[in-house]
A and B are shown apart, each in its own frame.
Chain A
């Protein structure tokens, strides 16, 4: 069951006094269950901080995050998280790394063997179960990390530039797989990115985050039909969205 998320007057300041850095907020936002929302902004705008606060991994200075109308006051365990650097540990093979998510939760991985197999299949990693992370390409590692973030059937996915370090072709391929998975299972997704095209292609809603302090300048609903493949990316509507967003960032003096 996908979660609804609400941010109320959320703000974060690092440090105190004269050297304090106002990183984020205040932000108010409502995310409906099953929405795919991107936080799109330049680097250093606090969008990663925002994601950590939403995950309950960083306390906000002001305001609150609510998941399904419950206030977040500690790490959210019903979420799946993916970072720019993956959280695969080097001493475990792909399968065992996915199992790590379950083991840390006190669950018995062997009971989830089918689910792990299905997930690996959905990201085309079947046959790589016993490979160590260092034997995989960067793209395959992120695919494995994706399975790790999904295996406990989270109701919300928090992605912090998971494709940030990948080459353009791999990014395109993983976006497609990610989208296919979202369409079938419909969790709530918060996707942090600095790629306009990526945000428009994947999201049902794009939140434009201003340069520091990060605030949501506006929310843009992307009403293109799914799945959004390469054809859609050539369409008038898609190109208009990308151009409009570029204009907004141009207005910020970012590009």
Chain B
């Protein structure tokens, strides 16, 4: 319906009209999704009254918004804390894991030593290390950052190894036939060819990063959204716990969204992006 409306408009229109038309079209595509969301929260809001759910078990969305607004100062501070842990940990994980993946892909020594070690550690639930790091390093931000690094590290390494070691035979031969050196071949061919598979790891790690930060805060901290959720739940304040969960969701979505945008910008040619 929306597309029928917009196509009926004159072909030559100003920029604002074009923007409006784009917005209408976007809405036309996603209205079902939006309607579902709105419906979900409406149902929640009215089901509480309908089924006489006590407030200390599950509060109404409207109450969650009202009460968490009253505590917005602390919530914002804690969001900042958790966001810092997540982003610093994520960035460091990428900074270490990509070069390591590259090194493993090109070194048979590392491939036989560090690589199987990484593969087996990927099977370990990294969160299990959290209490140890807290006991070693205390309640500060450092043990949380380390746990985020641990959680993000392995998927990035493993995907980077795969990415850098799977250049097609013919492309590899083509590069050699030009007499290009290692660096030039890397910059012009190997790196761009590896990006799509690298991003698989980046996205997976982005999903896990907030999980790592939250659980690390559960285990031992005096600030952050994980801490806030735990304290609120202990104080029979599920409304505030939900506010914390909501903000963590926003944080996770933002990080994932940024990675996805970077992906679209860096590899617009890749089939996974073109087919959208």
Contacts and interface: CB of A to CB of B under 8 A. Distances in A.
A90 B192 CA distance: 9
Given A89-B192, A106-B184, A75 B177 contact: yes
A165 to B, nearest CB: 12
A89 B267 CA distance: 12
Interface of B: 168, 170-171, 173-180, 184-185, 188-189, 192-193, 267, 269-271, 274
Give the residue among B180, B193, B270, B271 with the most A Cβ atoms within 10 A: B180
A64 B274 CA distance: 47
A87 B171 contact: yes
Given A83-B170, A87-B171, A104 B270 contact: no
Given A57-B173, A104-B184, A104-B185, A77 B271 contact: no
Contact of B174 (A81, A106, A132, A134): A81
Contacts, number: 61
A132 B273 CA distance: 14
Give the residue among B168, B177, B179, B188 with the most A Cβ atoms within 10 A: B177
- Using C-beta atoms within 8 Å of the partner chain, give the interface range for chain A: 20 to 34
A31 B174 CA distance: 23
B170 A55 contact: no
Interface in A60-86: 75-77, 79, 81, 83, 85-86
A25 B177 CA distance: 23
B170 A57 contact: no
Given A77-B178, A81-B174, A134 B269 contact: yes
8 contacts: A77-B177, A91-B192, A91-B269, A104-B179, A104-B180, A105-B179, A106-B180, A134-B274
Contacts of B175: 104
Contact of A75 (B170, B176, B193, B270): B176
Contacts of B185: 104
A201 B168 CA distance: 31
Give the residue among B176, B178, B188 with the most A Cβ atoms within 10 A: B178
